Amino acid sequence: MIHGRVQGVYFRFYTQKKAFELALKGWVKNNADGTVAAVFEGEEDNVNQMVNWCHNGSPNAFVTQVDLFSEVYAGKETEFHIQY
């Protein structure tokens, strides 16, 4: 969960671009409360790089907080996509 000025600044687009670069699967979406939620699946080092990236995000974003939640790997994602 990413908090701050993260909607209306192409955060989801840049997240998807970075996830593609890191060969990650999962999704990213805007929440009604102004946060952005994301799920990342892939190699542990690549997931860690993605989480680190989320602390800054897109060029016009201002991230104030990143909440992490670990889940058991489900392997059900086939690509990385933006949820609408």
Any idea which residues carry the catalytic annotation? 12, 30
Q: Which two tokens stand for residue 28?
A: 């990213």
∠ CA 81-77-46, rounded to 5°: 80
- Smallest CA-to-CA distance from 44 within 63, 65, 22 is with 22
Per DSSP, the three-state class of 79 is coil
Cβ count within 10 A of residue 27 = 19
